[in-house]
Amino acid sequence: MISFPGLPGFHKPALLAAAASLLAGLVLAPAQAQTPDAWPSRPIRMVVPFPPGGSSDILGRIVASHMGRALNANIFVDNKAGGTTQVGTDFVANAAPDGYTLLLGAASSFTVLPNLRKLAYTLDSFEPIGGVADYVAVMAVRKTLPVKDMKQFVDYAKQNPGKLSFGSAGEASAGHVYGGTLSRDTGIQLLHVPFRGSVDAVNALVAGDIDFVIDGAATPMVKAGRVLPLATFYKTRHPELPNVPTLKEAGFEIATAKGAGWGVLAPRGTPKAILTRLSDALQKVLTDKTVQDEILRANSIASWQTPEEFRAGMLADQKMYSELLPAIGVKKN
């Protein structure tokens, strides 16, 4: 054996073995830290592709908070607004698939937008964790409009073609699509007025600048008696507005999305074991009555869907919108 000067009794084989052991430790340590058994070992980011303060942001913070408790982890919300949800959605699509970056995905990101423009991501860029909630839109009119129910509204609109205006959060927003579909399916002519957001549209309604909105953000003003509700655009009545009929109960039916309004997703390639833990935690959260009541604050109704159900709903709605949007005058950019 060869001895090294200045290192009495230290031999080459022993030195090589020690170096190899140290190198193996350095190489394996990061990999071990990312295994499903070790996850989560640091805070988890939940990207919300909307500005702070709106319904989607409130929903994201509720889900992040309760999922964090269920996983014994810190899940924080990161608002990445822009591009009609494209900025935040694309950010998550390109994030490391390690379970530390999640998306509170809006259905429109995967159903409406692909029919309007070329996107850098697709639904296949993600691993669905589950459906979270359904959007409950409320049709509300200004109090000075001479109608009291949906039948009177449709009759009045037919007598005044093109004179009734409705506001929305912008081109191809839920409120715009609902209004356009109502126009097509009832044969009435309406004027669409886009705003920067739902709150601006509702404020314009209260001020009497427009005639109606179809938006969940109108709920507080309905409860305050500032605007008149005619119907909810959902399969059941709004829990906070039990006296307001559904559109079907009011005698009308229009084409609507069948999938969830929001879901939680992870980047494609996230380990299955981590996805399962996330999905189990999300299901536990959404079946809790306390959480369900909190989600109502976001103008939504908790609606758990399995990853498979969420994906199937998004694909079906994407096909539905490919036919509906051109029919209501929303053109591809």
Residue 220, classified by CB atoms within 10 Å of its CB into exposed (0-12), middle (13-18) or buried (19+), is middle
Tens-place pLDDT, residues 163-180: 999 999 888 888 999 999
Average pLDDT, the chain: 89
Phi then psi dihedrals of residue 160, to 5 deg: -130, 65
Residues 172 and 331: beta-carbon distance below 8 Å: no
- Alpha-carbon gap, residue 286 to 303, rounded angstroms: 7
CATH number of 44-134+258-327: 3.40.190.150
Compute how many other C-beta atoms are within 10 angstroms of the C-beta atom of residue 86.
18
301 three-state secondary structure: strand
Secondary structure (H, E, C), 74-100: CEEEEECCCCCCHHHHHHHHCCCCCCC
Residues in contact with 28: Cβ distance below 8 Å, sequence separation at least 6, in sequence order: none
Are 161 and 170 a contacting pair, CB within 8 Å? Answer: no
Q: At 38, list the tokens.
A: 């070790």
- Cα separations in angstroms, 85 against 39, 202, 224: 28, 21, 31
Share of the chain above pLDDT 70, in %: 89
The residue ranges of every structural domain in the chain are 44-134+258-327, 137-233
Q: Do 125 and 268 form a contact (C-beta atoms < 8 A)?
A: yes
**Residue 245: exposure state from Cβ atoms within 10 A (0-12, 13-18, ≥19):** middle
CA distance 121 to 68: 27
**Residue 41 pLDDT:** 96
- The CATH code of the domain at 137-233 is 3.40.190.10
Same fold for the pair 44-134+258-327 and 137-233: yes
Q: Is the pTM of this model over 0.85?
A: no
Question: What is the DSSP track for 49-70?
Answer: SS-TTSHHHHHHHHHHHHHHHH
Residue 100 pLDDT greater than 60, yes or no: yes
> Which residues, 6 or more positions from 80, have their beta carbon under 8 angstroms from its beta carbon?
47, 48, 49, 87, 88, 91
How large a percentage of the chain has pLDDT more than 90? 76
In angstroms and rounded to an integer, the radius of gyration of the C-alpha atoms of the chain is: 26
Contacts of 217 by beta carbon, 8 Å cutoff, 6+ apart: 55, 198, 199, 201, 202, 299
Reference 11, options 23, 22, 2; nearest CA is: 2
> What is the phi/psi pair of residue 107, to 5°?
-55, -35
Which segment of 110-124, 279-293, 319-333 scores lowest on mean pLDDT? 319-333
> Over the stretch 221-259, which tens digit does the pLDDT of each residue have?
999 999 999 999 999 999 999 999 999 999 999 888 888
pLDDT: which is higher, 262 or 84: 262
pLDDT of residue 35: 61
Residue 276 has pLDDT above 50, yes or no: yes
Average pLDDT over residues 268-283: 98
Span 100-105, average pLDDT: 98
The pLDDT confidence band at residue 19, using thresholds 50, 70 and 90, is very low
> Does the pLDDT at position 15 exceed 80?
no
List the single range of 88-92, 255-259, 317-321 with lowest mean pLDDT: 255-259
24 vs 109: which has the higher pLDDT: 109
